Copies of this chain bind each other. A is one copy, B any other.
């Protein structure tokens, strides 16, 4: 039984499990320096400093974040590891990249031009990553822009292109035809950059084909325990557990309703628990009437709508040792993975992680 010292739930983050996952990627790639750490969005909600400190211990050679602000924060406690900003070279703040020794991922001709201009002014080659779009249609040079670039490669004479990268759109779906198509496109353009490291595979890509590994793999979700290959058992170690407490036990009567909108009506007398958890904690409101939480390993379905700070659950399944006020309820843990909770919420485990709220007491083990 958890001893609650906080007034709300407890989120446990297992840094050893995270390290074990990282070491699995090393084994998978057969390399000690090919596994980058994708730590954008506060390390998928799990704490940028704690996660990157652990990855630094494991000699992680490269970090990827989404925004310049994240990069500057990470640089404030890590002055060694290269840090790349995947959302690009933000306009108007280019000198911050130089000042904090941060690698821009150049996504557009405009990104390239602005970085080149600075290189020319400084009269030195500037470290950079170029992102080529191979079918995601989100960020990176388009096919046409790529053609223009490789036809006249001296237009990037101011750049020290350290890495070229692309990103899979559908690698989580086994045998999706777009994946191999993207890989083929990437293989072609890689020929034009013999001196740059190549990076293509995200978490699922890493598990789909050794040929996708190249020099740097970029696992994010799998590092944090998510299943990179949904059609198979999860090869990763679970990193997070989440528990909260029961605030009240209630005996609801047949014919009564529960929660906002009175959306759930009781067809029989039902014992319920109201627990300290809500959508303000990132327990998505789309869990209303669908998610399951666990009491001593026994499933308790969510009844009615998820409130901002509260959730009501059905205790009918629990025949022996009925729960009491203040007892612990498991949201994520041995009975429920992030992937499983995502399914009842109608989303993906990535959003479960990045939504994890700030009222939980965070404990690192």
Contacts and interface: CB of A to CB of B under 8 A. Distances in A.
A285 B348 contact: yes
Contacts of A256: 135, 137
Nearest to A67: B7
B350 A248 contact: no
Contacts of A262: 135, 169-170, 176, 178
A340 B63 CA distance: 37
A350 B4 CA distance: 28
A258 B133 CA distance: 11
B308 A41 contact: yes
Contacts of A268: none
Contact of A309 (B66, B108, B172, B325): B66
B91 A4 contact: yes
A250 B137 contact: yes
B142 A88 contact: no
B274 A139 contact: yes
Interface string A333-350: 000000000000011101
Interface string A26-38: 0000000000000
A312 B138 contact: yes
A156 to B, nearest CB: 18
A264 B87 CA distance: 22
B279 A354 contact: yes
Copies of this chain, count: 2
A298 interface: no
A68 interface: yes
A90 interface: yes
Interface class of chain A by DSSP = loop
A213 interface: no
B67 A276 contact: yes
Contacts of A92: 3-5, 326
A119 interface: no
A310 interface: yes
Interface string A224-263: 0000000000000000000001011111100011111110
A110 interface: yes
A328 B202 CA distance: 30
Nearest to A358: B42
Nearest to A348: B285
B279 A7 contact: no
12 contacts: A6-B69, A7-B87, A42-B358, A67-B309, A108-B247, A108-B325, A135-B262, A144-B251, A169-B262, A170-B261, A279-B350, A285-B351
Interface of A: 3-8, 40-42, 44-45, 66-70, 85-88, 90-93, 107-108, 110, 133, 135-139, 142, 144, 169-170, 172-173, 176, 178, 245, 247-252, 256-262, 272, 274, 276, 278-280, 282, 284-286, 307-310, 312, 325-326, 346-348, 350-351, 354-355, 358-359
